A and B are shown apart, each in its own frame.
Chain A
Amino acid sequence: MISKRHDDLRMLLQALAEFLDISDTQYDAAVSHYKAVGEWLNEENSSIVKHDPNIYSQGSFRLGTMIKPISDGDEYDIDLVCELKNLRKGEVSQKQLKDMIGDRLKENERYRKIIEECNRCWKLKYSDATRFHMDILPAIPADTVDDISPTTDPELSFSAILITDKELREWQRSNPIGFAEWFKERMRAQFEAMRMLVAKSLRATVEQIPDYKVKTPLQRSIQILKRHRDIMFSDDIDDKPISIIITTLAAHAYNNESDLIDALLNIVSGMPLYIEYRDGVTYIPNPTNPLENFADKWNPKKHPRREEKFRQWLEQVQTDLDVALRADDLHDIIKKLKPRFGDNLINKVATTTFPDWRSSAGVSATLAPQISISKPIKPWGK
């Protein structure tokens, strides 16, 4: 019976991750939205076209680990980089770079209405059906030795960039493409194998299958972990573990398992092993820049409980997986998953995966109690 529970849970978690994923339509819409931004920046009469603006995605959108927001009405954050390829550090100040891109965006009627400045980026808040919030991060290439972290894998250094920050005097280093390459490398074996399978099933060649059509157990696990975190920290936003930490640790711990549950179990137990301590400071190095600490906000003086809460959360995930694997039956699994991922989502997932799960519930025909209604209040709607 144990393997049956395992199968049911795997199917549910797989479907859960697919539900959390943004749809192909949304993916295409996001790409066409940001390509339109790129075209606007690259128009002939654009003030910055001479600097060769390049726009590309970064973060969870690039990694294929994005998830839908908890509430249907919430926006989708999509992170982009706008790199001016022909500019170098000595030729422009942080403010100039930020303004150059901002000014050009504001010349567009549509963007002017939806643009907002953030500490490091320009945010376009689309109010159309997509509800995208596109964070556009102004950047220039980092090609002097100083600006590329000395310990960085040389293969990843080609994509290093410098970015602006309103509150810091120094240019900040970043390397979103390098990070994505590292991430992909961590799941290479599974990725290739699955891409081949997808290609076969679509009777296409491997090259015809774009990366985003393939989702490895690592990506699925991260999506599931992120939603679990969203629910558990829904009333503790301040100490909610950030996605980059989850993503980095999970990618380290992943061993190219092909089974989603094996992957999740291994990832969850392995993640803490990649938390380092350097001179008494908790350290989660950026794989493309080991001098950058993703856990720099875990400073025990400012946020004494963040690390503890992160570890508690991982333990909770582990417990939840164990409990689900030891559940009595399908109904019990569904019941156990609901508080963790949201009733509505789990109901949808269960109904899609096991269309008649409700009917097998053996709903005992309890006698409906007689209730009298007195002085009812009228419903309203916001």
Chain B
Amino acid sequence: MDNGRGKLIRKQFDDLTRIHSGLELSEDFPNRWAIRGNLSFDVTYAGKNINDTFSILISIPKDYPQSPPAIQETGGRIPRAIDYHILPDAGNFCLSTPLRVRLKFQKNPTLLYFVNGLVIPFLFSFSYKKLYGNMPYGEFSHGRLGIFESYQELFGITEPHAVLGLLKILAEDCYRGHLPCPCGNGERIRHCHGRLIREICIYQSQDEFLLDYLQCITYLNKSGVNLDKSVLLSKKVMKHWKRLTQGFDKNKKRGTESVKNENIE
């Protein structure tokens, strides 16, 4: 029996293989889907043409298409190291920060778009760097700095308090359109960054924004940026965070992702 999700995956896979014929769909275990095979592309970008083929494995998550698939290279060409934007443990690509991947994927949540819009650009940049020595469209720094940079880029501002001010709205889930926009241009939020905030707030949970927020604070503190009181979170949110991390610790043995306390120090 094929459930709705299975049907959707099969249908999307048909569209995918019409373009990329070297891929095969497999239901490894009931309701656990994967795509394997060779992915070829012919890309011209910034005046450079690259034609390449990679062996790949795409793992489709249980909550697909709410979450995008995970992808890894299986031919042993890309070293499993963070410098190549590969998570060393599982070997999955760090296509970008989780939020950026979701934002991009949800514009067109299909397997074909995932491959053409996210996977091929990633593989292209790997091949490009091999040939020309640099990343064709840049990269975020690793770790917390990269998270901070990604919000700088997303909001189109660089000043730390302004970035944190906007992110805090998401972390505390307290959007008030009539308040002045934290970016500091004097407008009310609803006439300024409000649209963006309301657009992105559905792509991550409040807890995930909260974690990002704390990562940014930790990074800025460690790099010696003087932060003022405006960055402090409300008591209610801090209490919630404490409960959350305790819960995570307890569940650690059961395979739940643990969020280390270092993030909030």
Whether B110 sits at the interface, judged by CB under 8 Å, is no
Q: A324 CA to B95 CA in the complex, in Å? A: 34
The answer, among B74, B89, B135, B150, for a CB contact under 8 Å with A71, is B89
Q: Which residues of A lie under 8 Å from residue B94 when comparing CB positions?
A: 379-382
A71-B90, A338-B36 known; A381-B120 Cβ under 8 A = no
Q: Give A72 to B44 CA distance when docked, in angstroms.
A: 36
B95–A379 CB distance below 8 A: yes
- Cross-chain contact of B89 among A73, A348, A367, A379 (Cβ < 8 A): A73
Residues of A contacting B121 with CB < 8 Å?
A: 373, 376-377
Give every chain B residue within 8 A of A363 (Cβ-Cβ): 38
Q: Are B19 and A369 in contact (CB under 8 A)?
A: yes
Contact across chains for B42 and A379 when beta carbons are under 8 A apart: no
Selected from A343, A358, A382, the residue in CB contact (under 8 A) with B87 is A382
Contacts of A372 in B (CB 8 A): 43-45
CB within 8 A of A377: which of B21, B26, B52, B118?
B118
A369 surroundings in chain B (CB, below 8 A): 19-20, 40-42
Q: CB within 8 A of A368: which of B53, B137, B141?
A: B53
**Surface stretch bound by A, among B1-9, B27-35, B201-209:** B27-35
A residues less than 8 Å from B139 (CB atoms): 378-380
- Distance between Cα atoms of A369 and B124 in the complex (Å): 13
The size class of the interface chain B forms with chain A is 35 or more
With a cutoff of 8 Å between Cβ atoms, the chain A residues found around residue B19 in the complex are 369
Inter-chain contact B82/A347, CB cutoff 8 Å:
no
Known: A73-B89, A380-B146. A347 touches B76 (CB 8 A): yes
| Other-chain residue from A339, A351, A377 in contact with B95 (beta carbon distance below 8 A) | A377
Cβ of B163 within 8 Å of any chain A Cβ, yes or no, is no
> Would B88 and A368 count as touching, CB distance under 8 A?
no
Q: Which of chain A's residues has its CB closest to B121's CB?
A: A376
A370 to B52, CA, bound (A): 11
Binding site for A on B (CB under 8 A): 19-22, 26, 28-29, 32, 34, 36, 38, 40-45, 51-53, 57, 62, 72, 74-76, 80, 82-83, 85-91, 93-97, 100-101, 104, 116, 118, 120-122, 124-125, 135-143, 146-147, 150, 153, 254-255
27 cross-chain CB contacts under 8 A: A72-B80, A72-B89, A237-B254, A335-B36, A339-B34, A351-B76, A358-B75, A366-B40, A368-B41, A368-B53, A371-B42, A371-B43, A371-B120, A372-B44, A373-B45, A376-B121, A376-B125, A377-B100, A377-B104, A377-B118, A378-B140, A379-B135, A380-B95, A380-B147, A381-B86, A381-B140, A382-B143
